[in-house]
A and B are shown apart, each in its own frame.
Chain A
């Protein structure tokens, strides 16, 4: 691989665990789904979970959005895990652990943060025990996130992986009740508190004790465990965040005719994701914005409704949560049940009477070192950070594992270094304006009326064709054209002249600023000094690659004519042709496929050298008509082919041996036909 820019792609920088997005997407587009899974698992033990429910900060920061829409990274991730199951099971067996360190670590809580830390520490050779008060591992992933968004088997895949590294899980074992914190502390060399925020806040208003008032998290917990709490026919959910939306949508699936939400915030201010709100509304959930609960109405101890007062402002001048009400404007709504989902808190009762300090319900800790106030006691996840996302919790799990490892090795506290990553920044508007637009591959959710019948998953994953189509949309940011330091760049300006995006410039020698380069490779193909290469997906080593493919083929066994076929890999809808061929397959078919991300980046020498290596014919298969990602590539390639044909005529090979085809409908449907055609024409020629 050529040297890459030191700049981070914005997607990876935005991901709390810095997933190498470009690389896994590249591997998908090359049909290497297993390799893509390797990239994911490198930093994230929960790829199946994240493929379903990650709030995908990567997509929010994807540079493609200034062109059209961000790359569908979450669904690509899901595609990878759903298509590598066997490999993943086999991979588990090959996990390498460091030799036992002879030290023990206790992890309290089996949410994503705790399990991440447990896995890291087990891999480092520590003996790890996870204490979980529930009967199932996974924390909120197992108990709160409704199954229609995160099916249990997706979570289970990740957990099986994690447990496979050798972690003892003590289920139904609540620290503070089934075992005391102090005794855990005594038995283990380090203790990690990863208990999350398992309790919901309540409200000090009249009627709150009436029968029919429920709390959000316990409600979801019960539903996840197959229980069906009494809701009646009209349900009011209080809160405007994502958890509230989950509560309302889960309630809707239990059969009441009316589910409503009410929150202090205006529609624009609601903290829930926009798409979550829209999906809830599609399911028939109505939202009352800018209302604050005043009293729960009750009759004979049973909830009958709720009274609201107008909320005129949620945040004060300093953007602090400080709601103001107009007590004169009120409204009352009938309801059989009210579910409060207005925030979460930790249950830290198990620390009472221990030296670990808890202040007003909060664990006192230092986020930079993941430590609590007591030596040897660490923390991570939401109990440390407050409410967040699964992937943030995972990131803190990694941090905690590093801190604990350091402590157990040196006896000292590790201040986690503040890594500041330099990103490539936004795609400049003038470059974006010249880029071709390609619609994001969207999947259709199940119809709302069918969705609300039960807890079945509502979102289909990508098919292989969809995943391949979406993967090609990635701009492979910051992996574009680089001038080789040893190149004889004469500042000839050819790169400047052919670059479709106005990116390349010459400052004595060629400069292709990473911020703008679209990685089309056209400059590299035309550089007369053969001095430009792409950092990823380079084609400048084409001849060596071809030699590699052919070196073990026996010339006698090779089926003639031998066709070297350069194909636009972006047209593949399955990985059948993306996969590397065996020598035997090449021999038996006389076809050597070379997948190229846009055949427009093939230089003249790439088109000629196959003949040198023994090919009888070179068949270029481009994308479909007007299908090219890159402005200008088609014209440049056409001209180059004309030039090379003239040269081949001169050399004596015959220009007709260089053939050009355009994909029709799909690779699978048309390429075999082209290969046959390519062979046939050659036969006729040589016969003549």
Chain B
């Protein structure tokens, strides 16, 4: 899932100087799970903003809401309607960057500000700790590496590692917390009885499906632009 961290409060506060009616919008999916932007966090931020505004003598209303996902039209429509109906003049979303974009594309002349820093695709390795595991490169090569991603988990994104900075299984970039992924790949290949494959070089990766080929889209033809839904079939 997508992992995010709360933005520094004062940065968010700084976005809002010119606004009078602000909606803090939580998201019920990834950012709820990583404890960065669910309903409880939205309440907390909204409360913090109200306190800060009143301390500074700034008159503004702060509202709060949370939707299941901010990356689906059906879930965000009611929010868009509310924004219009209630004359909200700025939105702070606690969704990942997708939510910020998704809302901005639809909301008209109302600014949408990010309340979190979207950081990575990761897993919850232990309670309270998330770790990056995938880089979304568009051309997965983990079949070559025992299911462990060197692009996301090697500090240098090496395709053929380890480098000289691998020491006692740890990565020189952060020897306290980060394991050398190539050590992990080595152990894993050994466990799988595929150690010999590591003698082959992994060929240069095709980076076009990553950020290089322009904005990426995914289409599922079987439900994409159904004619009867658009009225064209009638």
Contacts and interface: CB of A to CB of B under 8 A. Distances in A.
Interface of A: 487-488, 490-494, 497, 527-531, 603-605, 608-609, 611-612, 647, 650-653
A490 B51 contact: no
A652 B55 contact: yes
Contact of A652 (B33, B40, B52): B52
Contacts of B52: 651-652
Contact of A653 (B38, B44, B55, B67): B55
A561 to B, nearest CB: 15
B68 interface: yes
B9 interface: yes
B39 A611 contact: no
A10 B54 CA distance: 51
Contact of A488 (B48, B50, B66): B66
18 contacts: A488-B28, A488-B38, A488-B39, A488-B66, A490-B32, A492-B32, A497-B127, A528-B32, A528-B35, A528-B41, A604-B40, A605-B40, A609-B47, A647-B44, A651-B9, A651-B52, A652-B51, A652-B55
B44 A605 contact: yes
Contacts of A650: 8-10, 48
Contact of A529 (B9, B39, B44): B39
Contacts of A527: 40
A122 B164 CA distance: 94
Contacts of A490: 28-30, 32-33, 38
Contacts of B179: none
Contacts of B9: 647, 650-651
Contacts of A604: 40, 44
Contact of A492 (B26, B35, B44, B54): B35
Nearest to B56: A652
Contacts of A647: 9, 44, 48
A528 B38 CA distance: 5
A653 B41 CA distance: 18
A529 B65 CA distance: 11
A497 B33 CA distance: 12
B18 to A, nearest CB: 19
Given A492-B38, A493-B127, A529-B38, 6 more contacts: A528-B35, A528-B39, A529-B28, A529-B39, A612-B47, A612-B54
Given A488-B66, A647-B9, A652-B55, A530 B47 contact: no
Interface in B9-48: 9-10, 26, 28-30, 32-33, 35, 38-41, 43-44, 47-48
A530 B33 CA distance: 12
Contacts of A488: 26, 28, 32, 38-39, 66-68
Nearest to A650: B9
Interface of B: 8-10, 26, 28-30, 32-33, 35, 38-41, 43-44, 47-48, 50-52, 54-55, 66-68, 124, 127
Contacts of A493: 33, 124, 127
Contacts of A492: 32-33, 35, 38
Contacts of A491: 33
A488 B68 CA distance: 6
Given A488-B66, A611-B51, A530 B40 contact: yes
In the A-B complex, the 10 residue pairs with the closest CB atoms: A488-B28, A528-B38, A650-B9, A492-B33, A490-B32, A530-B40, A497-B127, A530-B39, A651-B48, A605-B43
A306 B10 CA distance: 94
Nearest to A649: B9
Given A529-B28, A647-B9, A650-B9, A608 B44 contact: yes
A529 B40 contact: yes
A685 to B, nearest CB: 14
A47 to B, nearest CB: 43
Contacts of A497: 127
A237 to B, nearest CB: 65
A642 to B, nearest CB: 13
Contacts of B8: 650
A494 B48 contact: no
A297 B110 CA distance: 106
Q: Which of B8, B28, B44 has the most CB of A within 10 A?
A: B44
A478 to B, nearest CB: 26
A203 to B, nearest CB: 72
A470 B33 CA distance: 39
A164 B26 CA distance: 59
A492 B30 CA distance: 9
Nearest to A646: B9
Contact of B40 (A603, A612, A653): A603
Contacts of B40: 527-530, 603-605
Contacts of B43: 530, 605
B47 A529 contact: no
B47 A608 contact: yes
Nearest to B32: A490
Contacts of A652: 51-52, 55
A488 to B, nearest CB: 3
A527 B50 CA distance: 22
A78 to B, nearest CB: 43
A487 B67 CA distance: 10
Q: Which of A604, A609, A612 has the most CB of B within 10 A?
A: A612
A530 B32 CA distance: 10
Contact of A612 (B38, B50, B67, B127): B50
A233 B44 CA distance: 79
Q: Which of A491, A493, A494 has the most CB of B within 10 A?
A: A494
A608 B49 CA distance: 11
Given A528-B38, A530-B43, A650-B8, A608 B29 contact: no
B115 to A, nearest CB: 13
Contacts of B68: 488
Contact of B35 (A494, A609, A653): A494
Contacts of B54: 612
Nearest to B11: A650
B51 A612 contact: yes
Nearest to A531: B39
Contacts of B39: 487-488, 528-531
Nearest to B45: A647
B119 to A, nearest CB: 17
Contacts of B38: 488, 490, 492, 528-530
Nearest to A644: B44
A112 B29 CA distance: 60
Contact of A605 (B47, B55, B124): B47
A530 B64 CA distance: 13
Contacts of A605: 40, 43-44, 47
A605 B52 CA distance: 15
Q: Which of B51, B55, B67 has the most CB of A within 10 A?
A: B51
Nearest to B67: A488
A497 B127 CA distance: 7
B31 to A, nearest CB: 8
Contacts of A487: 39
B48 A608 contact: yes
